Chains A and B, each alone.
Chain A
Amino acid sequence: MKRIIALAITLVFLVITGCSDYLDVKPQGIVGDKELSTPENIDGFVISAYAQLANDHYTIPNLLWPYGDLRAGDAYKGGDGPADISTFHAFEIFSTIQPDMSAYAPSVLGDINNKKWERQFVGISRTNLALSRLKDVSAEAYPLKNSREGELRFLRGHYYFDLKILYNRIPWFDETASVSDIENTSNVKYTSQEVWDRIAADFRRAAELLPATQNDKGRPNKFTAKAYLAKVLLYQAYEQDDNYNVVNINTGKLQEVVTLVDEVTASGNFSLASDFAENFLFEFENGPEAVWSIQRSHLDGTTIGNLDFSAMLSGPMSNEYGCCWFHIPSQNMVNAFKTGENGLPLFDSFNEADLTAEDYVDPRLNHTVAMPGKPYKYEPALVYTVEDWTRRPDIYGNYSSLKENVSPDCECFERIAPFMSSSKNTNLIRYSDVLLWKAEALIELGQLDQAREIINQVRARAAASTGYLYDENGVSLANYKVEGYSSFPDKEYARKALRWERRLEFAEEGIRFFDLVRWGIAKETLDAYFSTEKTKRTYLVDAQFEKGKHEYLPIPQQQIILSKGLYIQNNKY
């Protein structure tokens, strides 16, 4: 009996102390799905899609200098020697690029090739998320619906564009794809041309939906979309075979490029800045030439500001900056700025001797390259020297990159020891780029004179851009001599002139390598570059560009593994 009582007491005791809903605790600090489909919150998803533009990291920059300049013979990696971010060193010499770069020093950074791939898809997923949310509201409830859809398609096109030129074979899907659809989409589901078509379609639709002007400087308008569409079509026009040879140039697409650029010009939205320098000065950001740029900011309530992370490693070593001297202009590129008595580039002899103070040069050189004895970033009192401003001159020479950097006196300048950067915007497309796309298309279409006019327009602006280029004594920094072309004798010459012009105009802006691949001349250009540059920079002795392979980066090994064989690796990797 006693035992039964004991048991009963025990049971009662146990039951009263337990309660069933004890485990239903509310999750803290996250929002519910349903609350987010209001116009204000959808606007939030749109902003978030933009924010990825400014979410780059110095090892994964959205200005493509490691991918576009280091691989093109325009810049050395710089820094503390080859081991300082050795994945970038691999980009520079090609021979050590491999699908898994996670062990490359310093490996604390992880596989930054994989991270680049990942970050592009973060941007794509943010735009897709916002696009699918947009379907939850009507245009009546949300008058900006069309414009926002246009902006999102533009952004998606942009994120895919960079992914395409970096990796070539990429998985493409839109906002209707579920997680399992995405996990079952191969990178070779669509051909290269089919992917281009899809990227172009987004910009085409964006151009239809977007208004002709936007109040917010960071949002693309109809003509920004048309300009980007022109860029896509220009890339697509050069049709490649499996070994990345250009096997056909599609004139229909080139014709459309010309039409689109004409529409952009006719809109009156954009023009060339009066001085080349203004494209690279904080005071003039969002100026007339800025077609598409990343809006950077500081003192904005974020931890360190939405600073220009793309430029964070590029500062020189003087006390005003201190770190990290990456992205160093190559001797070959500096020599390319030499001009002859006629004010034209020295196409054949430019690299026979290194630039001297006596040579005639294009003024864009001193906007682009910091050189010993000359003022840094238009500050006459701030003189760049080898001793105090360089880091490893014995390895990487004496120069430094200027365009992305700012004066230490700029209100946009921020130190984040040991790094520094600024809130200056990052140019992604300048109007001169748009004009030269048209010139390029015209040349391929055989309309050489029209093309020449455009090139001369760009050169004339360059020639006029000497207003900032004086030292403390008011003496010009170099012997400047730039003239327009009086004629293009043939298509080959015109091509040479266009291609040279692009090199000088966009030097150190992360563009050149993609031009070379588009034109199908990466192999020959780099072979020529290495053969001479190796003798000046011994670390390049291992450099070797393999045709049909190094035009694109490998699909990151981690993605191949995660896809369980669905993804196909790029050629020869």
Chain B
Amino acid sequence: MKEMISLKFRLFIPAFLLMACLLSFTAKAQFTVSGTVYDGSDNSTLPGASIVLKSTNTGTITGPDGKFRLEIPAQKSVLVVSYLGFEPKEVEITKSISLSISLTQSVNELEALVVTGYTTEKKKDLTGSVAVVDINQTRNLPAGNIIKNIQGRVPGVFVTTDGSPGSGARISIRGNSSLNNNDPLFVIDGVPTKSGMHELNPNDIESVQVLKDAASASIYGSRAANGVIVITTRSSKNENPRVELSSSLSFQRYTTKLDPLTAEERGRMYWQAAVNDRLSPANPIYTYEWNGDFNNPILGSVSYPEFIDPDKTMRAADTRWFDEISRPSLQQSHNISVSKGGENSRSLFSAGWHNNNGIIKETNFSRYNVRFNSSFDLLNDKVTIGENFTISYQNEVLINSYDVLVTSLIQQPIVPVHTVDGGWGGPAPGMTDRQNPVRLIEDNKQNRYQYSRPFGNVYLQIVPVKNLSFKTSFGVDYSLYYARTLQKSYTSGFLVEDDNTISNNVSLRGNYIWTNTANYKITAGKHNIDLLGGIEQIKYKEEWFNASRQGLVSEDLNFGYLSSGSKNQMNAGGGRINALMSYFAKANYSLKDIYLLSMTVRRDGSSRFGKNNRYGNFPSISAGWRISEENFIKNNVSFPLYIKLRAGWGLNGNQEINDLAIYNIYQAVYSKEDPIWDNPTQTYRPNLGTAYDIMGIDQGQLPSGYIYSQIANDDLKWESTAQTNLGIDFTILEDFSGSVDYFIKKSSDILYFRTLLSAVGEANKQMVNGGDIENRGIEVMLNYHKTWHGFTFDLSGNLATLKNTVIDIPDELLINAPLSPLIPNEAKTELDRSVMIGRSVNSIYGYVVDGIFQNPEEVAAHAAQPGKAVGRLRYKDLNGDNVIDEKDQDFIGTVDPKLTYGANLYAEYKGFDLTLYVQGISGISVYNGYKTYTDFSSLWPGTNWGSRILDAWSPTNTDSDIPMVTLLDRNNEGRLSTYFIESGSYCKLRNIIVGYRLPASTIAKLNLTKARIYVQGQNLITLKSKSFTGVDPENPNYAFPIPAIYTLGIDITF
């Protein structure tokens, strides 16, 4: 647990100053004590620990080797040995002696330094809501993304993820406050970024803290409305060079598998569906021997031809497509770091490799990281110069796992993977027009993207006079994306592509960040004032282009460069720029260390807004009262007690909109965008083309023109979020600690696309401000720590509630609800003001299913519902007008989890350690899109169906709640209804880790400082609601399945 305490290094500077200071006060020595201070958990030495003679100013700190030497008066004395993050220890001294002092880690982290905006504060001085992630608990998890590892560990931070090797994860803090971008701001070593964290090496991370409320986040102003995650990377703290090695190897397999029908079952269910419809079962593939009596149909046998296609190349099969596309796979991570610290310089070098083969065949993600952090103190420590720099390079196979997963479910089992002559199997006449998923894998496995991201900063800090410091930091965050992809020609059933295509996609984007701050501390008696002022400039640029050609004579990627193509040269490109200019100030005041007050203000300007409203002001104020320090408590409580009450209010902003939102846009669109799918999910709908063959020549360059696609809005301004936070932090008996927060977060002037009447024409969307959304919730965090006869026991748990409410929205705003990315687009509905107010923006709206019609009498008695019949779903006539239509819809679920929780148990005994981690959510609805395949033969008649359909309603199976099989969806049963809404609550045993630390004697023999091996299991057990009929409620639709992962790992330090 040694690394757990953040920023030992940061202590080093003040501690060093303190030592210099104290030494000058050293009085005449009477005798000398010397000794070494150890970390009790692993017997490593602690440099920079403070040793003070009790009730005096006499003291010293340990050197880089953990050793100290102190002259003290020749009388019975008590030494107080303390180190940040450890329990202080008092040692009685009666004679000259060499001591060996072992400190145990403190659960009470009040003294721990927490990185807040542009500065650090002690946790006990915080007045805002800041959660510190216990990085140590996630250290051994093999995920490629730190965000994935903090899932469930911080109340109010909701992480959703999938199982893809690239480790996608989405994070939202305290709910959706915007209709646009709900991603938090990340600040890595002081450099802000909105980009994904999966490029960061989790092994390089020293600490992660989440600034949840406005009081702590508003120093980041316009980008802080969704919360701020502050990440600090590791640095060195030891005199001797230290080498740390860690390696882990993981085995992954899927535990969640769908059960589609076999070829025979598919044929039988088709017959059943056809005769239910009183249709002659004329299927292009299957032939049936049956009695021909629709009143009492009896199936004799199902047969199918040897070949399913007219050319007789596809031999009828019984393919288990999911088995064909999936595999157990390996994941590995290897890291090395070398660090050395000294009086005037510190440096750390690290390198890491992470390689993850996904459980879908041929998927692979590989990442290389190199980091170099260093700093130097010059001119008697008046100047510090340093840098943090990392570069990550990653590449990933470009296989569309969504397509592969969907087609593996819906491709008919009778289709063979390959034709008899080794070509690709594929859909035969009458089947759905979807690809062979194995071909999708094999034809794309050579295609990878490459992505490289240099990220870091250099800084200079000057302390011209005592208590005043200036810091200038210049950061860069750039990325280069490059992909060269070869799309092969193919014939796969009736799907044919005659042309191959080589494409290049390149983009260069990123920003620089220049931050200048000044810090001044005033201490006058009982008053402590800490002032901070600063300026920050950010400029973002992006340029991209794509190019492609067709007609390659060879489909080998080694040949496949643009110049190798002979026809259809195509290209496109674009770019964008935006800038931010910010001024900020912060004042912290504390009186007697009991009354705390903090104020910040930030003024942000963004190029994204019109001249009229370019700047926004973001103030905050917060106060803390360490009530337990008041005499009325102190004098009446006999046990150790610490209580702090906190209250804060502040304003944050959101400016994450298109760079061009304020402008009139005229543009040339030679080629219409997304012509095939006409994707309606994009906020900017795909532009329609402006080129036309006016001369009627059929081929060649066309004349083209312009469209007016957006109306300017000079009044566009920030979306602002006001947040009030009330909190309490407590520690009782030093073992039990916790915090409780209550917040109300209200966003106003929400940025959204105003949809004008379509009659306005092409420019019928305009970004405007309006509407209010509120989130409120309670967050609780509890810790219990006990050491008992060498047995260390650490239990922590958290839970959070969240309620999202639309307070007001403008008339013309239609919300494509629910907003949640958990819900696939086809389950979203456009809802307006009349129904949204008072609801969550994540509400699901639809019809209510009221069982299955059991007999003709029930059908006759029901309201007019086109397509109603025995065996069909009955929809509730909610408005009682005796007609089932669009007016019979209501709110049928919410995608916000009402409760999220996590609990971690850590136990340690004689070098053995055990971690158990449980995480869950409840009170959440999910749309189970798989049900359109697993429960219906009519919604996708040409696909395969799920085995649930075998239990469908029939006159002899009337208990079933799956409607009767049919080929004719006359009843429009694919409509959004309660039939597809299920409980998404789950509780998962996320991790079990068992570790063993080699005893000190053994590692000494091996010349090591530390060695530990562990085994780890991830995603081992899932408890889910009975109403959930899919495979994984965390991942209810077509996302990459989350695998179970088993890891063996080793950490060595020498």
Residues in chain A within 8 A of chain B (CB atoms): 2-3, 5-6, 9-10, 13-14, 17-19, 22-33, 36, 41, 43-55, 57, 59-60, 80-84, 86, 93, 95-96, 98-100, 102-110, 114, 117-119, 121-122, 124-126, 128-129, 171, 173, 179, 182-183, 185, 215-219, 285-286, 295-304, 306, 309, 317-319, 321-324, 385-395, 412, 415-419, 423, 425, 538-539, 541-542, 556-559, 561-564
22 A-B pairs with CB atoms under 8 Å apart are A6-B520, A22-B537, A28-B574, A28-B660, A51-B705, A54-B693, A96-B866, A103-B975, A107-B827, A108-B825, A109-B678, A121-B758, A121-B761, A296-B698, A301-B671, A302-B702, A319-B309, A392-B430, A541-B970, A542-B866, A558-B830, A564-B811
Contact (Cβ within 8 A) A23 B607: yes
Among listed B20-28, B68-76, B144-152, B934-942, interface-contacting one:
B934-942
CA distance A107 to B830 in the complex (A): 11
Contact (Cβ within 8 A) A323 B690: no
Bitwise interface map of B from 578 to 610 toward A, beta carbon under 8 Å scored 1, else 0? 111101000000000000000000000111000
Closest 3 CB pairs of A and B: A125-B761, A217-B696, A44-B705
Contact (Cβ within 8 A) A322 B310: no
Listed residue (B310, B535, B666) with the most chain A CB atoms within 10 angstroms of its CB: B666
Q: A44-B690, A321-B494 are in contact. Are A562 and B755 (CB under 8 A)?
A: yes
CA distance A322 to B667 in the complex (A): 36
* B145 smallest CB distance to A (angstroms): 29
Contact (Cβ within 8 A) A300 B691: yes
Contact (Cβ within 8 A) A53 B692: yes
Contact (Cβ within 8 A) A216 B274: no
Q: Inside 8 A of B700's CB, which chain A residues have their CB?
A: 299-301
Contact (Cβ within 8 A) B664 A317: no
* B543 smallest CB distance to A (angstroms): 9
Contact (Cβ within 8 A) B311 A319: yes
Q: With A121-B758, A302-B691, A394-B279 given, can you name 19 additional A-B contacts, CB distance below 8 Å?
A: A3-B522, A9-B470, A14-B533, A24-B607, A52-B688, A54-B689, A84-B941, A107-B826, A118-B764, A121-B759, A122-B761, A125-B760, A217-B695, A298-B698, A306-B691, A319-B311, A385-B310, A390-B284, A395-B967
Contact (Cβ within 8 A) A558 B814: yes
Bitwise interface map of B from 265 to 285 toward A, beta carbon under 8 Å scored 1, else 0? 000000000100111111110
* A187 smallest CB distance to B (angstroms): 9
Q: A27-B663, A562-B757 are in contact. Are A179 and B577 (CB under 8 A)?
A: no
Among B581, B690, B812, B846, contact of A18 (Cβ-Cβ < 8 Å): B581
Among B520, B568, B696, B975, contact of A299 (Cβ-Cβ < 8 Å): B568
CA distance A423 to B694 in the complex (A): 13
Is the interface on chain B under 10, 10 to 19, 20 to 34, or 35 or more residues? 35 or more
Q: Inside 8 A of A417's CB, which chain B residues have their CB?
A: 435, 495-497
Q: Inside 8 A of A100's CB, which chain B residues have their CB?
A: 886
Contact (Cβ within 8 A) B692 A51: yes
Contact (Cβ within 8 A) A96 B496: no
Contact (Cβ within 8 A) A538 B282: no
Contact (Cβ within 8 A) B516 A13: yes
Q: Inside 8 A of B280's CB, which chain A residues have their CB?
A: 394
CA distance A557 to B835 in the complex (A): 14
Contact (Cβ within 8 A) B976 A103: yes
Residues in chain B within 8 A of chain A (CB atoms): 274, 277-284, 309-311, 427, 429-430, 432-435, 464-465, 468, 470, 472, 493-498, 514, 516, 518, 520, 522, 533-535, 537, 539, 568, 570, 574-581, 583, 605-607, 614, 659-660, 663-668, 670-673, 675-676, 678, 680, 688-708, 711, 755-764, 811-812, 814, 825-830, 832, 846, 866-867, 885-886, 938-942, 967-970, 972-976
List the A residue with the shortest CB-CB distance to B672.
Answer: A55
Contact (Cβ within 8 A) B756 A83: no
Q: Inside 8 A of B274's CB, which chain A residues have their CB?
A: 394
CA distance A86 to B464 in the complex (A): 75
Q: Inside 8 A of B970's CB, which chain A residues have their CB?
A: 82, 539, 541-542
Q: A10-B518, A121-B761 are in contact. Are A297 and B699 (CB under 8 A)?
A: yes
Contact (Cβ within 8 A) A83 B939: yes
Contact (Cβ within 8 A) A391 B430: yes
* B425 smallest CB distance to A (angstroms): 13
Contact (Cβ within 8 A) A304 B763: no
Listed residue (B278, B282, B692) with the most chain A CB atoms within 10 angstroms of its CB: B692
Contact (Cβ within 8 A) B705 A45: yes
Contact (Cβ within 8 A) B583 A14: yes
Among B606, B680, B811, B968, contact of A110 (Cβ-Cβ < 8 Å): B680
Contact (Cβ within 8 A) B968 A81: yes
List the A residue with the shortest CB-CB distance to B758.
Answer: A118
Q: A107-B826, A418-B433 are in contact. Are A33 and B577 (CB under 8 A)?
A: no
List the A residue with the shortest CB-CB distance to B828.
Answer: A107
Q: Inside 8 A of A55's CB, which chain B residues have their CB?
A: 672, 688-689
Contact (Cβ within 8 A) B696 A80: no
List the A residue with the shortest CB-CB distance to B760.
Answer: A182
Contact (Cβ within 8 A) B309 A22: no
Contact (Cβ within 8 A) B689 A102: no
CA distance A124 to B759 in the complex (A): 8
List the B residue with the shortest CB-CB distance to A32.
Answer: B666
Q: Inside 8 A of A425's CB, which chain B residues have their CB?
A: 696
CA distance A426 to B436 in the complex (A): 33
Q: Inside 8 A of B494's CB, which chain A residues have their CB?
A: 317-319, 321-323
Q: Inside 8 A of B760's CB, which chain A residues have their CB?
A: 121, 125, 179, 182-183
Contact (Cβ within 8 A) A323 B433: yes
Q: A50-B692, A54-B689, A86-B974 are in contact. Are A105 and B939 (CB under 8 A)?
A: yes
Contact (Cβ within 8 A) A9 B464: yes
Q: Inside 8 A of B699's CB, which chain A residues have their CB?
A: 297-300, 423
Q: Inside 8 A of B493's CB, which chain A residues have their CB?
A: 319, 322
Contact (Cβ within 8 A) A30 B663: yes
* B738 smallest CB distance to A (angstroms): 40
CA distance A57 to B672 in the complex (A): 11
List the A residue with the shortest CB-CB distance to B270.
Answer: A394
CA distance A556 to B759 in the complex (A): 12
* B281 smallest CB distance to A (angstroms): 7
Contact (Cβ within 8 A) B678 A57: yes
Among B282, B670, B758, contact of A301 (Cβ-Cβ < 8 Å): B670
Contact (Cβ within 8 A) A415 B576: no
Q: A81-B969, A86-B972, A561-B814 are in contact. Are A301 and B702 (CB under 8 A)?
A: yes
CA distance A86 to B697 in the complex (A): 37
Contact (Cβ within 8 A) B759 A182: yes
CA distance A31 to B968 in the complex (A): 51
Contact (Cβ within 8 A) A30 B498: no
Q: Inside 8 A of A81's CB, which chain B residues have their CB?
A: 938, 941, 967-969
Contact (Cβ within 8 A) B705 A295: no
Contact (Cβ within 8 A) B670 A28: no
